[in-house]
Structure 1
């Protein structure tokens, strides 16, 4: 790479375009226009002498050279960001946290505890049922239902998660089925099949329907027990019980803002 002409700003913008999959989604996270990003990516290609993107209507597809550059940059991204920050800069550092629907919902109730009072981090929740790639810095911290296995990942064990059926008093004895690629949704599919009166594709909607008295929702107990109008209508499901882990990259876990956030998340979720 020609380090004399490839600026860190352009490399930072490259990371956004590469991770978001195109100019428009990258514009939303960088605050730059799509036209500006397009010009900067062309300038970066000229500066590095690499063809980085295959451009088509669906977005920007990474070339082999781009994937190599992405791998190079992810290992040093946090260090360069600290070195290039302005002295006395007061902007709070951004910490991106990914978690499933239910964990995100529980975290939102403890926002002040996680961000600090006064807030000393800028927290971005990425609520997703899929596992985002911490090694490639799609997020900084992720909640997982198993111990991390990658050599570059570090994990801390949290409280055990259990699932049970919940409904409001007088609600009809019918399941609310969730169509999602999660263990609890797959369990519902096996148990309920096509016999559900209502199906939803967002897990949170099953809670909304249960709160409205429309049926039985399968919920983690840390959600169900916090709903005053709901009661547990059956035993916990042993096959859905699992340990929860908080995971980050080995190189990031000692960053002050990451360490503070992890400590606070563990206090909220009973980390060990």
Structure 2
């Protein structure tokens, strides 16, 4: 391989194609068209003098050379991410926290307890129902509903999460349906057809509507019980109960700012048994 002929931008695009398994999903990830990605991957193969992909109808499979390249680039990418994070730090080190809607809401209610007073960390909250890639440092600390299986991750079990139906007194006995890829939304989808008072795409909006007295929302008890305007309208739902895990990378968990944040989050969220 003549390394001087390899375009670093093509290597970044290669990472997307390799991880997504094809041009179309990589196009959605990168914002480039499948045709452009196809041309760039061909140019990369020509520059390296080796075949990187086995092309078939179902996507792009990696050759042995591509697997080797992918491993090398992961190491480079991790180093670049660490350099980038150091460059963007101010006097307070940055800690990125990934959590779902309800855990994020609970954390924000204890903001000063987690940042310290005065603040000695700078928090970036990434509220999402999807699991972010901690090995790639998309987040430094993540909350999950099951123990992680990825290599190199450390996990701590927190208090158990339970769900129940909540509404304001006198609210109509009709469900507020959430159109999201979450266990509670899927549970409700199986039981509610079109007889919902409203449909929302954000779980947080179901809480807003319940507080406004518009219907019944499925909420975690640590959220619903904290709202003085709401009351449980039924028992907890066994199918939705799960453990909560706090996850970080083995290489990050002993960084002072991460250690402090983890300890404070444990105080707020509660330790599991």
User: How high is the TM-score relative to the length of structure 1?
Assistant: 0.73
For residues 156-175 of structure 1, what are the structure 2 equivalents within 5 Å?
156-175=156-175
1:154/1:247 contact within 8 Å kept: yes
State the shift of 1:73 in Å. Answer: 3.1
| Residue aligning to 1:215 | 215
| Structure of larger gyration radius | 2
Mean alpha-carbon deviation: is it higher for 102-111 or for 189-198? 189-198
Query: RMSD of aligned C-alpha atoms?
Result: 3.5
Aligned twin of 1:110: 110
Alpha-carbon distance, 1:193 to partner: 2.2
Q: Are 2:81 and 2:137, in contact at CA under 8 Å, matched by a contact in 1?
A: no
Match of 1:263 in 2: 263
Evaluate the alpha carbon distance shift between residue 90 and residue 207 of structure 1 in structure 2; reply closer, same or farther with a 3 A threshold.
closer
Q: Is 1:73 matched with 2:76?
A: yes
In structure 2, C-alpha distance between the alignment counterparts of 1:240 and 1:177, rounded to whole Å: 16
Q: CA deviation at 1:271?
A: 2.2
Tell me how far 1:236 sits from its aligned partner.
Answer: 0.2
- Map of 1:6 onto structure 2: none
The answer to whether the Cα contact below 8 Å between 1:74 and 1:137 also exists between their aligned partners in 2 is no
Deviation of the 1:217 alpha carbon: 0.3
65-74 or 106-115: which moved more?
65-74
- Which 4+ residue blocks in structure 1 deviate beyond 4 angstroms? 20-23, 63-70, 77-82
Please report how far the alpha carbon of residue 90 of structure 1 lies from its aligned counterpart in structure 2 after TM superposition.
5.6
Unaligned runs of 5+ in 1: 1-9, 24-48, 51-62
In the aligned structure 2, how far is the partner of 1:77 from the partner of 1:153?
Answer: 20
Deviations 1:6-57 (A, max 9, x none): xxxx99xx8xx98x9559xxxxxxxxxxxxxxxxxxxxxxxxx98xxxxxxx
TM-score where L is the length of structure 2? 0.73
CA distance in 1, matches of 2:122, 2:128: 19
Alignment of 1:40-51 (within 5 A): none
Gapped regions of structure 2 (runs ≥ 5):
1-7, 17-27, 32-46, 49-61
Q: Does 1:199 align with 2:195?
A: no
- How far apart are the structure 2 equivalents of 1:268 and 1:72? 35
Distance 1:231 1:78 in 2: 46
In structure 2, the CA distance between the partners of 1:269 and 1:173, relative to structure 1 (3 Å rule), is same
Number of equivalenced pairs: 229
